[in-house]
Chains A and B, each alone.
Chain A
Amino acid sequence: MILFCILLLPAKANEIDRFIFRDKQQNNQLCSDEVFLRRTCLTLTGRLPQAEKSRLFLSSDNTTKRADLIDELLDSDECTQYLVMRWGDILRIKSEFPSNLWPNAVQAYNRWLYEKIKDNTPYNKFVSELLLSKGSNFRSPAVNFYRAFLKRSPENIYENISLLFLGDRICNDNGHFCFSQIRYKNTKEWKEEIVYVDLEVMPIAPKIEMFNQQEIVLNPGEDWRSAYVAWLTGKQNKRFAGVMANRLWFWLTGQGIVSEPDDWGKHNPPSNPELMNYLTDRFIESGYDMKALMRLILNSGAYQSAASPQGVYVPQRLPAEVIVDVLADLTGTSDSYWSRVPEPFTFYPEGTRSVDLGDATVSSPALELFGRASRDVSLESQRSNKLMPRQMLYLMNSSELERRIQKSNILNEICSGQTNTENVCRAITLMTLSRYPSAEEINLFKAHTEKNGLSLRDLASDILWTHINSAEFLFNH
């Protein structure tokens, strides 16, 4: 059995593992190739691997196949799209309440994010561009950062910046002075807005002291955001790098070293300070290279260990968009999305992926049911991956989903010209669970077919239903 065999940690362990396994290095159980493949595709792209890809990966003897897959996925367009969604959550990209960005600006903002992530823009540069932005919401999309506030006060803006980039939930310094020059004005173009800095504003104080005892000087006639950004993104501000390094760890493993990932401070120390320091240093040394850090984490024995609630890799329920998109892929249909603004309503074409919506104002009942991020607050916990009975109810007995399973072109294709139960079972298992079925499973499905006198196509529906209702499917593990 390839599937459940336990691999020992490779001799040349990733440096990260030194901080985790220490004496009990021998005890790290790596996940199987099947699990690694599924886990990594879901984590980086929000999609299941296609059957052909799984077949090739599982049959390959290449010793570097895991690292190769990581490289391939990190460079994929799907990965960029998926990261745009994660950033969109914490930047609260939404056409309507409470961010009120409006659809054109939402599109521009998403395109900007997409380019930045695709180019793997260094994190310090990315944050500088975001925070020093000015101009039109359509032409300088990063300014939408400053527009996405219900109450556009320097205090609110600053609290959000502290939360996003320093994991600071309390925010008790005077950093908001640096954002007191921000002004907004409308143009003649519908919903266009200019964000600018009023250099005539006089500083309330000549300088402010930050938590790391450094000072920010507010010179009259200058854009004080520059002084703030220089302080924020400076190499001596390790917390800036640490928060992002930890966020990436959280995105990839499901559990922050500082947990929750947006709650930093003495009251909530990292569970593994040495590892946190190491990742932070490596992130700074690499020139704030996010992909390099992701690559380092993904290649570690820690990320690749068998899932366990007490372990490094915690099983996680699939996020809302992933469930919805995967169900669409498995049934060859898609959910329907439309936007109420601007009127007349905009309908998204069939085949639209929820990961690509880019706007929390555009939703569907299934996305809401599975706890998509509301994008009201920049907290990771706004996305709810907690399993609830009513979510399982939907998978068990929804008319809408049942219609899609029964009409699925994908299942039709699998069954067409087919007479062999085992082949159908293998094809569906590879498609939904990224592995081959065990002999026991094949026997189970055979017995089910005989007992109930099912056609092959009805069996296909029952197999798919069984898979999507199983814990093995519902969780990334």
Chain B
Amino acid sequence: MKRILPFFLLVSLSLGSMAQQAKSVILVYLDGGPSQTDTFDPKPEATREIYGTLKEAVQTNVPDIIIGSKLPLLAQMADKYSLIRSMTHSNNGHETGHYAMITGDLSRSSIVYPSYGSVIAFMKSPTYKGILPAYVSVTSANSRFNEGGFLGNKYKSFDTGGEPEKMVFEVEGIINREIKPGTLEKRMQLLDGFEKTNPFCKSFTYSSAIDSFRRINTEFISGASRKVFDLTDESKEVRERYGMNRLGQSCLAARKLVEAGVPFINVRTTGWDTHKKHFQRMNEMLPELDQALSALLADLDEKGLLDSTIVLCGGEFGRTPKVLWEAPWNGGRAHFGQAFSYLVAGGGFIPGKVLGKTDKTGENITERKVYPCDLIGTVYLLMGIDPKGTLPHILEGNLPILPSLGKEEQSNGLLYELINLK
């Protein structure tokens, strides 16, 4: 802990010259690895071996940009976002792919880096004064690795749990439908009485800390934070615009969290690991994604929040452009970390552009490779965090915030093509 003070001084000095453009990040994480071929990098000119049963692509409202035909709503608003079609990290395991995509670390050292949500929560901790945690996941983070990394438990995500698509979104610890109204207040009085008669609690050193935590929590439960998660105070039209499903309502919750000032929101949606029944699943899942993501972008834009909110959408990797028609896959797509796509919008990202290109089949990148740390570093930059800064590690001292940045085969430069430096 000794190292933290000089570290913050260092950061604040180096940030003097950098203007923060974005206040919040929403990561719509398609856990399992979505197919880029059927979403943001369609190949209608290829063969059935590549496009499978989703041949058609749609023209967007930006000339020269086409996307998958199952995303018609997003197609009408391509001037609100940009696409990266040349993401790469070459990891084909869920866990290694996820680690790469969520930390930007491809150095394969023995050090476990924190996720960028945790890094942002950590970097914003001196200035962030919101009542909600700085990093919130709707409804849970991918706990496949320790995503607080070496920053520790404190900077892990707050997982809401619950089912936002239900009439009442039960947020773990905040909105509890299991108890009758008034019960918690009565119990709190009982607890207060209990601790006052209890010799241990009365003299316990940490009692005042515990009291203050309880006060924070009571405010949390009864106060403004409860309203943040109360989706019923949105009109029926707004809720339906996002789609009355898990992903749609999670995106709506994310917009409300942005309004509450939360710096990092992870909307994690599962089911994208489509080894089998791929096209059937795409036909079910893509319309939901299309509706939720387009509603989120439009809603943020209409509320004047898109300029200060980064929206990202993608997974831990993409899927093989070649369809596996043979048994046991019978029309599936496997993991593909070689070349895949991400959608970026808002918070200083220039919209209406495509960065990077893949070849005719989509198997190889032909233009502007983008590595995970290039994307994450650009997000840091827009969030006013120095991508070349450091993080404190208990054994190693100060470590680079992005160990792969600037290294060959791990990085290809920040995405200056997609941002306007202020």
Partners in one complex: yes
B271 within 8 A of A: no
A368 to B146, CA, bound (A): 9
Q: Distance in Å from the Cβ of A438 to the closest Cβ of chain B?
A: 7
Q: Interface-forming stretch among A116-124, A137-145, A322-330, A375-383? A: A375-383
CB distance from B271 to the nearest CB of A (A): 14
**Contact of B216 with A389 in the complex, beta carbons under 8 Å:** yes
Asked whether, in the complex, the Cβ of A97 is within 8 Å of the Cβ of B99, the reply is yes
Closest to B188 in A: A396
Stretch at the interface among B204-212, B256-264, B326-334, B343-351: B204-212
Q: In the bound complex, do residue A441 and residue B194 qualify as a contact, i.e. CB atoms below 8 Å apart?
A: yes
> Contact: B176 with A392, CB < 8 Å?
no
Please give, as numbers and ranges, the residues of chain A lying within 8 Å of B197 by CB-CB distance: 438, 440-441, 444
Q: How far is the CB of B300 from chain A (nearest CB, A)?
A: 27
Known: A4-B199, A387-B209. A363 touches B190 (CB 8 A): no
B217 pairs with A393, CB closer than 8 A? yes
Cα-based distance from A45 to B186 in the complex (angstroms): 35
A471 contacts B210, CB within 8 Å?
A: yes
Smallest beta-carbon distance A259→chain B, Å: 13
B217 touching A392, Cβ below 8 Å? yes
Q: How far is the CA of A389 from the CA of B152 in the complex (A)?
A: 16
B91 to chain A, nearest CB (A): 11
Interface flag for B213 (CB, 8 Å) = yes
Interface-lining segment among B4-12, B106-114, B227-235, B371-379? B106-114
Contact digits for A364-407, partner B, Cβ 8 Å, 1 yes 0 no: 01001001001111010100101111101110111110110010
B214 touches A151 (CB 8 A): no
- Segment at the interface with B among A50-58, A59-67, A238-246, A461-469: A461-469
A18 is an interface residue with CB less than 8 A from chain B? no
Please determine whether B210 and A387 come into contact, CB atoms closer than 8 angstroms: yes
Cα of A127 to Cα of B70 in the assembled complex, Å: 59
Contact call A379/B395, Cβ cutoff below 8 A: yes
Tell me, yes or no, whether A472 is within 8 Å of chain B by CB: yes
Proximity bits, B392-407, A CB within 8 Å = 1, else 0: 0011000000000000
- What is the CA–CA distance of A309 and B303 in the complex, to the nearest angstrom? 51
9-residue interface stretch from B61-69, B177-185, B283-291: B177-185
Would A151 and B153 be within 8 Å (CB), given that A97-B96, A400-B172, A402-B178 are in contact?
Answer: no
Check A224 for interface membership: any CB of B closer than 8 A: no
Docked Cα-Cα span, A469 to B367, in Å, equals 58
Complex contact B161–A400 (CB within 8 A): yes
The CB with the most chain A CB atoms within 10 A, among B99, B146, B159, B162, is that of: B146
Contact status of A97 and B214, CB under 8 A, knowing A376-B112, A400-B161: no
Q: Name B187's contact: one of A387, A406, A440, A465 (CB within 8 Å).
A: A465
B170 touches A399 (CB 8 A): yes
Are B110 and A389 closer than 8 Å at their CB atoms?
no
- For window 396-431 of A, CB contacts with B under 8 Å fall at 396-400, 402-403, 406
Least CB separation from A341: chain B residue? B95
The yes or no answer to A315 lying at the interface (CB within 8 A) is yes
B190 contacts A399, C-beta separation under 8 Å: no
Q: Are A441 and B174 in contact (CB under 8 A)?
A: no
Stretch in contact with the other chain, from B15-23, B118-126, B137-145: B137-145
Is B362 part of the binding interface, using a Cβ–Cβ cutoff of 8 Å?
no
Kindly state whether residue A177 has any CB partner on chain B within 8 Å: no
Which A-chain residue is minimally distant from B275 (CB atoms)?
A343
Beta-carbon contact of B195 and A470 below 8 Å: yes
The residue that B176 contacts in the complex, of A169, A377, A398, A444, with Cβ under 8 A, is A398
The one of B99, B143, B200 in contact with A471, judged by C-beta atoms closer than 8 angstroms, is: B200
Q: Is the CB of A384 within 8 A of B187?
A: no
C-alpha spacing A384/B152, complex, angstroms: 8
A187: CB under 8 A from chain B?
A: no
- In Å, the complex CA distance between A471 and B94 comes to 41
| Residue B280 is within 8 A (CB to CB) of chain A in the complex | no
The answer to whether B108 and A150 touch across the interface, beta carbons within 8 angstroms, is yes
Residue B220 at the chain A interface, CB threshold 8 Å? yes
A474 to B204, CA, bound (A): 12
A191 within 8 A of B: no
Decide yes or no whether A114 CB sits under 8 A from chain B. Answer: no
Contact A397 B217, beta carbon cutoff 8 Å: yes
Closest to A308 in B: B205
A113 nearest CB across to chain B (Å): 21
Q: Which residues of A contact B217 (CB under 8 A)?
A: 389, 392-393, 396-397
> Is B172 a contact partner of A365 (Cβ separation < 8 A)?
yes
Report yes or no: A452 in contact with B186, Cβ–Cβ below 8 A: yes
Q: A150 to chain B: which residues have CB within 8 Å?
A: 108-110
CB-CB nearest in chain B for A445: B190
Q: How far is the CA of A315 from the CA of B203 in the complex (A)?
A: 12
Q: Answer whether residue A477 sits at the interface, using C-beta atoms and an 8 A cutoff.
A: yes
B277 at the interface (CB under 8 A from A): no
Give Cα A147 to B92, complex, Å: 21
Further 12 A-B residue pairs, CB within 8 A, beyond A97-B145, A386-B154, A471-B200: A96-B144, A150-B108, A365-B143, A368-B153, A376-B149, A379-B395, A386-B153, A389-B213, A394-B173, A399-B175, A402-B176, A466-B194
Nearest first, the 10 closest Cβ-Cβ pairs linking A and B are: A374-B146, A393-B173, A402-B178, A376-B112, A384-B153, A440-B197, A371-B153, A389-B213, A97-B145, A399-B176
Q: Would you give 30 A-B contacts (Cβ < 8 Å), ordered by A?
A: A97-B112, A98-B110, A98-B112, A150-B108, A151-B109, A151-B110, A156-B110, A315-B206, A340-B94, A365-B161, A377-B112, A387-B209, A388-B153, A389-B217, A390-B173, A396-B184, A396-B214, A403-B178, A438-B197, A441-B197, A441-B198, A444-B194, A448-B193, A462-B186, A462-B190, A465-B191, A469-B191, A470-B198, A472-B198, A472-B204
